[in-house]
Amino acid sequence: MQIKSQIIKALKEATGVEDVSLDFTSNESFGDYTTNVAMKALAQNGNFLENIEWFLKTIKKTNYSKYYDGEFPVGRLKDGTFTYLRGSTFAKIRGFREKFEGHPEITKEYFWMLPYVLYDPEHFIKVKKYKNRYLLVGHLRKQFAVVIEVDIEKTKNYIVSAFMVKDRYIKKREVDCIEHKKNGTPARTAIPSILALDKLDGGSRFSTLQDTYNFYNKLKEECQDFSLDYEIKVNPREYAEEIKNKLLKNKDLNKFVEKIEVAGPGFINFYIKSDVLIGSLNNFDIPNIGKEKLAIVEYSSPNIAKPFGVGHLRSTVIGDVVANLMEAVGYKVMRDNHLGDWGTQFGKVICAIKKWGDIEKIEKSVNPVGELVELYVKFHEESEKDNTLEDEARNWFKRLEDGEVEARKIWQKCVDWSWVEFDKIYELLNIKFDKAFNGGKGLGESFFESRMAGVIKELEDNKLLKIGEDGARLVFFKNNKYPPLMILKKDGSTLYSTRDLATDKYRLEKYNPDIVINEVGNEQSLYFKQLYEVEKILGWYKEGQRVHVGHGLFLMDGKKMSTRAGKTVKLEEVLNEAIEKANTLSKTKNDKLAKQVGIGAVKYFDLSHQPQSSISFNFEKMLSMEGNSGPYLQYTVARCSSIMTKSQIINLQSPKSYQLNTEEQSLLHKLAQYSEIVVMAAKNYSPNILCTYLYELAQKFNSFYNAHKIIGGENEEFKLQLTKSTGLTLKAGLKLLGIEAPDRM
């Protein structure tokens, strides 16, 4: 939205701060946009560690907002720029780990809260068990609370831990600990210190202020004007008032800003004029941030000879929507399905078929993949009794790699049988891949079999391949940044890494993409860090050109689903049951509508969760047709369509000036956010951001609908404009989510 860029320009001129953040206000009574630029400007010459020490010295004071600050620089670099602790940067500084046990994670999405809670806690709780320990608590959307635990001592102050708990477990009094439930039992576990630095000379970590000072003393030798004597001497709110007064004199700003206010410890809030917002109705122009750039998005990637389980839904629909969002913001997108059709597991499948299977029986079966799964499960059961089976399976895969006719023939049948099931799933979900990649089936791992030798030679030429203790060949990283990455097994057979390197080299040479995105589970996070690091060392891709979008698991009874253990749920069964349930909700059977609603319910259930979070598999919740669900959004679209169909006004004209009521104003402001939400979701590779927006928009429209008569009511034409724009916006957003929006339900 052009309005946002003009406000940012005015703020830069008024403050001298280049990196201005301007966000939607969390509370509509505070206007349309808010910024912490005053706090950032004041922090620009300070040092975060000194800020912490200063704060802890004054922590017993009651007026915490007086000491509030927003962003915290850690020093001035040689080129004169500052390094700030903010968002994911803050996560790196404090030593972020991706998995925690025994308590809810503080995910990257919420790391921005940590400095805010530290400087302005909503609750300040004495831990009864420890003499000088306190808990600083801040709430998140009235559902979760972020807690920072500190020890306050005479000579040193320690930030002990930080964690997230459900709000109802916060004790607003003296406590022994913060509790949350794990398996029905109260539990509390600390994550690493907020001040633990991620890396120093090969990965050292620090947990105290004094240890961290030692690090910064070393850093000081390489920096200019490194401030260690900073205090918050200016009241951020007073400075925000000064900025506001400058902005009020900006004539360009006054054309579209109704008023500017200062709130809290120094936030500056902007209210946009109603006539400007009215003029933006039905404007779906999304900033073209990806113009003339190519993105390759890899997703779904099921394994051959295994069922398309409900767990595969996550990568399939999240990856598809990430690709849609990238296209929406201007990228040219190529979609690839990197099938798992190569590797040791095929040695196991072939071994099982040869020992216990019957190819003719499998060929005639109505469910050939089911037959293969039974054999795969049997292999793992028998291998626990017979240690030689694993070696036999590895030998079959070696024969497959060597091109043995029998091994290749069985493997190809497994591929063909699997695609019968995959085609059904992709048709139900309306998932398509780029025709350039094997006619739309995607380039599986086997495609790169002949290309791996070139990659291995390049690694050897760059002296990156080393022989490990057991004879395997690995890449070792400088300063032990990551564990070694195995490229070849001791018998010379390849791994995922070999094939993935060949894949990315092929993409680079044939398409030269600006960004390559892998939508693969969180469990592969370390592996992708290793893979990307190798590709940077080889000079194939630069920082930021390779992105791993990780997703959590679908859990069954709190545990991971497992094909080898025979514990999985077929996705086709879930989709068909969703369609059937949708059909039972209709007075007249309508197969097309039932498919739109049922598939929409399943997709939205997945997409509305943060990608990194794990989801408990629950048919009732997944197929819910009410509340924050796909059918609720679809129904709202149908309601808008019905109203417009009944209306007698054909050519709607927006009023030049109009006194908005509360519901109209709320809906109008939410509609104006659409294009920015799409950009935000694309930049963060997070479909759930768009889901949340669409749900909130639908809620606001239904509140407006229930409070006012639209057809034949006061200011009918404008109310119809709002209705039309809501329907179009919801439809556009659902289309990006891969969900159809029927006009009638």
State how many domains the chain has: 2
Q: Is residue 284 part of a domain?
A: no
User: Which pLDDT score, from 0 to 100, does residue 663 have?
Assistant: 92
Same domain for 315 and 182, yes or no, is no
Q: Does residue 450 share a domain with residue 327? A: yes
Sequence-separated (6 or more) residues with CB below 8 Å from residue 627: none
Same domain, yes or no, for 313 and 191? Answer: no
pLDDT in tens, 703-718: 999 999 999 888 888 8
Question: Could you give the 3-state DSSP secondary structure of residue 139?
Answer: strand
**Is residue 269 helix, strand or coil?**
strand
| Chain centroid offset of residue 582 CA | 29
Q: Which residues are CB-contacts of 642 (< 8 A; sequence separation ≥ 6)?
A: 743, 744
When the pLDDT of each residue in the chain is averaged and rounded to a whole number, the result is 77
**The tokens of 631 are what?**
């059918």
Tell which of 506, 524, 555 closes a domain.
Answer: 555
634-677 pLDDT, tens per residue? 999 999 999 999 987 766 666 656 678 889 989 999 998 999 99
Asked whether the CA dihedral 660, 665, 671, 672 is positive or negative, the reply is positive
Residue 214 in this model has a pLDDT that exceeds 70? no
Instruction: State CA 243 to chain mean position distance.
Output: 34
Closest to 7 in 3D by CA, of 26, 29, 31: 31
Question: Could you tell me which of 44, 428, 92, 359 has the C-alpha nearest to residue 230?
Answer: 44
Higher pLDDT, 122 or 296: 296
| In a domain? residue 618 | no
Choose among 230, 203, 226, 208: nearest CA to 216: 226
> Which residue in the block uniquely carries the two structure tokens 């497992």?
562
Please tell me which residue, 189 or 494, carries the higher pLDDT value: 494
Give yes or no: residues 211 and 353 share one domain.
no
In the prediction, which pLDDT does 263 show?
86
6 falls within a domain: no
Q: Please indicate, yes or no, if residue 393 is contained in any of the structural domains.
A: yes
- Tens digits of residue pLDDT in 256-303: 899 999 987 678 999 999 888 888 887 778 989 999 999 999 999 998
Task: Please indicate, yes or no, whether residues 341 and 461 belong to a single structural domain of this protein.
Answer: yes
Last residue of a domain, one of 524, 555, 586: 555
State yes or no: pLDDT of 437 exceeds 90: yes
Q: What would the mean pLDDT of 41-51 be, rounded to a whole number?
A: 52
pLDDT greater than 70 at residue 564: no
Adjacency order of strands within the sheet including 133-140: 123-126, 133-140, 144-152, 157-166
DSSP helix/strand/coil, 730: helix
- CA–CA–CA angle 379, 382, 388 (5° rounding): 90
Report if residue 647 sits inside a domain. no
Q: Which of 555, 572, 606 is the last residue of a domain?
A: 555
- In a domain, residue 230? The reply is no
In a domain, 639, yes or no: no
Name 542's Cβ contacts closer than 8 Å, sequence gap at least 6.
Answer: 536
Q: 178 and 315, same structural domain?
A: no
* Confidence grade of residue 82 (pLDDT, cut at 50, 70, 90): very low
Residue 563 has pLDDT above 60, yes or no: no
**CATH number of the domain within which 406 lies:** 3.40.50.620
Mean pLDDT to the nearest integer, 329-356: 92
Question: Which residues lie across from 137 on neighbouring strands?
Answer: 123, 147
CA 441 to CA 430: how far, in whole Å? 14
**Do residues 190 and 330 share a domain?**
no
pLDDT digits (tens, 9 = 90+) for 167-201: 555 544 333 333 333 333 333 322 222 222 222 22
pLDDT digits (tens, 9 = 90+) for 350-388: 999 999 998 989 988 888 988 998 898 899 899 989 989
pLDDT confidence band for 216 (50 / 70 / 90): very low
Domain extent at residue 486:
294-555
In this prediction, residue 349 carries a pLDDT of 92
Q: Is the pLDDT of residue 492 over 80?
A: yes
pLDDT number for residue 407: 93
395 shares a domain with 304: yes
Q: How do residues 124-143 score in pLDDT, each as one tens digit?
A: 677 666 677 777 777 654 45
> What percent of the chain has a predicted confidence (pLDDT) above 70?
71
Nearest to 267 by CA among 104, 25, 435: 25
* Mean pLDDT confidence for 98-127: 50
Task: Tell me, yes or no, whether 209 and 338 share the same domain.
Answer: no
- CA geometry: angle at 625 spanning 620 and 627, to 5°? 100
Question: Residue with structure tokens 């915490």?
Answer: 64
Q: With respect to residue 305, please indicate whether it lies within any of the assigned structural domains.
A: yes
The single-letter DSSP state of residue 485 is E
Do both 368 and 478 map to the same domain?
Answer: yes
Amino acid sitting at position 190: A
Alpha-carbon torsion angle 621, 623, 629, 634, nearest 10: -170
